[in-house]
Chain A
């Protein structure tokens, strides 16, 4: 509600309520109904999707540092979208989503494969470093394409900054079913993820089909992260912070972590978006810039607290 009320044009809370219940066609009401409400919905949806994706990844890889942004999945999705615009003259934003999913899937598999090839298998270090290297590679390829093709740059610039502002509500509606599938799949896997987080051997001994669970979880992550990137561009760190926040009161049980993450993720991104709008008025920052400012110090803290070797 605060998110709808606050912004460059000052509108009181009472006015907001009226606009939602009984629109009268004034400028303020138009702003609320066409700009601010979709924006808030986008933030809520993207926040919960990315947060769940992060929680699943942390459970799946038993890695406290996992996050779709850090592990290169966002970069993969972004690169796929930029490359598709560059090569295939893709004009409809609806097709972004498809390419974002393909890119996210390829990046996820690559990082997982590369990370497990390093010394000691899938340690947080290997996975994070593989992700960081892949992110660097993909984002410099993306920058290269943008420099070579001015047209691609024009089409994609605002999307790449990672923002929930001015998103097409039609795209949101199109991506929504896939996000819902990913969300439900993720929530359904809560129990299996808890078992898996005890260690792969233990999970197998308890009679779990670990490969199946991993595949399902991966599908869910790709649907959620790719969909979120398609809507809002790469917004990092929500998937990293939120699961850790929820662990404070939800414990280690993924049946609780996942739904809590969805709610907390939505709130976090909404608050970050409000902050991004209010820090330097009348300019607005893309929320994709604000999140790292909150998230990266937390990442450093996590490394200090959790990685010992």
Chain B
């Protein structure tokens, strides 16, 4: 993997940042070499620390307050002075917070991948209709076969997301990829899918429907270890796959022709990346419903922090996404306590103006 063009580029970068030794930090092994921005490790550590602090704070808040120190002790298995803490923290609040974090990570990664594949800063799985497809499939499953186990939900959502992604690809991509039409067609598809979802809700038995409704609003309310176990394998598998493929995104970013010229196996890589993105988005939606705009916001925030190189961008965006959803869940619980707002609403209220800001900023 000693690509002459790559080393030439990093030499060319050096004079620009002559004060600092090098802007890049390169990691090589026999099969893989990744090039990170120097800022990446610090930023990752920073975001991780803030996330941990927010998670602990989030777990300590609620009807039954637990002091933050006791939270840490309980999670680590150390004895505390109140035996109730174990139930409250480990059974009720920890899985919920973990789900929120995992969903944020998955959505943010999916968003980064879609933005990279389509070379479109406004593409995110929720905007181009992939989430709506996943939601449709999952709601159909809940309403039509109420007795299926919870672990099948991600599979169904993945199927729905994949079919919508294929449809969009087929309809929007003919004769070359056009980012503009992609978004509009995505909006059209999410309108269709959400209308069908509503139709399902009108059909179904009232108990199944109310279960589906809670879930649709984009909430991590009442998530237990069962969901954590169903969801984290997907996150782990496809998260690692996307990290592995992230390098190819840099080449794709330069345009199809140039990427082909650099030796990319264009269609295979694009297919693989799209598959990862769809799987991440689908399993996230299956776990927590439609939490909008995380996949849009997180990559942009990460780009501000660590620049556009995907090897560093992807993990940073992932951690930021996790932080955003954990924080949104916390805000949703504190804002009108004891009434809980689903965190999907919080992210949408923050995310939609951000989206408009991006639209306006892209004016130049």
Which of B147-155, B236-244, B297-305, B353-361 participates in binding chain A? B353-361
Tell me if B181 and A303 are in contact (CB < 8 A): yes
**Which B194-241 residues have a C-beta within 8 angstroms of A?**
194-196, 198-199, 202-203, 217
Tell me if A148 and B360 are in contact (CB < 8 A): no
User: How far is A5 from B346 in the complex, measured between Cα atoms in Å?
Assistant: 46
Q: Is B180 in the interface zone, CB < 8 Å from A?
A: yes
Tell me if B359 and A129 are in contact (CB < 8 A): yes
Taking the closest CB of chain A, its distance from the CB of B364, in whole angstroms, is 7
Tell me if A119 and B364 are in contact (CB < 8 A): yes
Q: Is A1 in the interface zone, CB < 8 Å from B?
A: no
User: How far is A303 from B185 in the complex, measured between Cα atoms in Å?
Assistant: 7
Tell me if B199 and A289 are in contact (CB < 8 A): yes
Write the A279-309 contact mask toward B (1 if CB under 8 angstroms, else 0).
0100101000100110111011001100111
Q: A125-B180, A130-B356, A140-B352 are in contact. Are A300 and B185 (CB under 8 A)?
A: yes
The interface residues of chain B lying within 8 Å CB-to-CB of A300 are 171, 185, 188-189, 192
Q: A114-B359, A292-B195, A300-B189 are in contact. Are A136 and B348 (CB under 8 A)?
A: yes
Tell me if A125 and B345 are in contact (CB < 8 A): no
Q: Is B363 in the interface zone, CB < 8 Å from A?
A: yes
User: How far is A289 from B198 in the complex, measured between Cα atoms in Å?
Assistant: 7
Taking the closest CB of chain A, its distance from the CB of B214, in whole angstroms, is 11
Tell me if A148 and B336 are in contact (CB < 8 A): yes
Residue from the list A117, A119, A136, A309 in contact with B352, Cβ < 8 A: A136
Taking the closest CB of chain A, its distance from the CB of B125, in whole angstroms, is 14
**Which A127-185 residues have a C-beta within 8 angstroms of B?**
128-130, 132-134, 136-137, 140-141, 143-144, 147-148
Tell me if A141 and B360 are in contact (CB < 8 A): no
Q: Is A193 in the interface zone, CB < 8 Å from B?
A: no
User: How far is A34 from B333 in the complex, measured between Cα atoms in Å?
Assistant: 46
Q: A128-B187, A147-B341, A280-B203 are in contact. Are A307 and B180 (CB under 8 A)?
A: yes
Write the B23-43 contact mask toward A (1 if CB under 8 angstroms, else 0).
000000000000000000000
Q: Is B342 in the interface zone, CB < 8 Å from A?
A: yes
A interface majority secondary structure = helix
Tell me if B184 and A293 are in contact (CB < 8 A): no
Q: Is B191 in the interface zone, CB < 8 Å from A?
A: yes
Tell me if A144 and B178 are in contact (CB < 8 A): no
User: Which residue of the partner chain B has the closest CB to A295?
Assistant: B191
Write the A188-202 contact mask toward B (1 if CB under 8 angstroms, else 0).
000000000000000
Tell me if A119 and B362 are in contact (CB < 8 A): yes
Tell me if B348 and A125 are in contact (CB < 8 A): no
Tell me if A144 and B345 are in contact (CB < 8 A): yes
Interface size class of A (residues with CB under 8 A): 35 or more
The interface residues of chain A lying within 8 Å CB-to-CB of B181 are 303-304, 307-309
Tell me if A299 and B183 are in contact (CB < 8 A): no
Chain B residues with a Cβ closer than 8 Å to the other chain, count: 43
Tell me if A140 and B359 are in contact (CB < 8 A): no
User: How far is A62 from B360 in the complex, measured between Cα atoms in Å?
Assistant: 20
The interface residues of chain A lying within 8 Å CB-to-CB of B355 are 133
Q: A125-B180, A136-B352, A137-B348 are in contact. Are A143 and B217 (CB under 8 A)?
A: yes
Tell me if A126 and B195 are in contact (CB < 8 A): no
User: Which residue of the partner chain A has the closest CB to B178?
Assistant: A309
Q: A117-B363, A118-B360, A300-B171 are in contact. Are A292 and B203 (CB under 8 A)?
A: no
Taking the closest CB of chain A, its distance from the CB of B18, in whole angstroms, is 35
User: Which residue of the partner chain A has the closest CB to B199?
Assistant: A289
Q: A143-B217, A144-B349, A289-B195 are in contact. Are A303 and B363 (CB under 8 A)?
A: no
The interface residues of chain B lying within 8 Å CB-to-CB of A299 are 187-188, 191
User: How far is A125 from B202 in the complex, measured between Cα atoms in Å?
Assistant: 33
Interface centre among B178, B180, B194 (most CB of A within 10 A): B180
Chain A residues within CB distance 8 Å of chain B: 65, 70, 114, 117-119, 124-126, 128-130, 132-134, 136-137, 140-141, 143-144, 147-148, 236, 280, 283, 285, 289, 292-293, 295-297, 299-300, 303-304, 307-309
Known A114-B359, A128-B187; 18 more pairs at CB < 8 Å: A114-B360, A117-B360, A125-B184, A129-B187, A130-B356, A134-B352, A136-B352, A140-B345, A147-B217, A147-B341, A147-B342, A236-B191, A285-B199, A289-B195, A289-B202, A300-B189, A300-B192, A307-B181
CB-defined A-B contacts under 8 Å, sample of 25: A70-B187, A114-B360, A125-B180, A130-B356, A130-B359, A132-B127, A136-B292, A136-B348, A137-B352, A140-B292, A140-B352, A147-B345, A292-B191, A293-B199, A295-B191, A296-B195, A297-B188, A299-B187, A300-B171, A300-B185, A300-B188, A303-B185, A303-B188, A308-B181, A309-B180
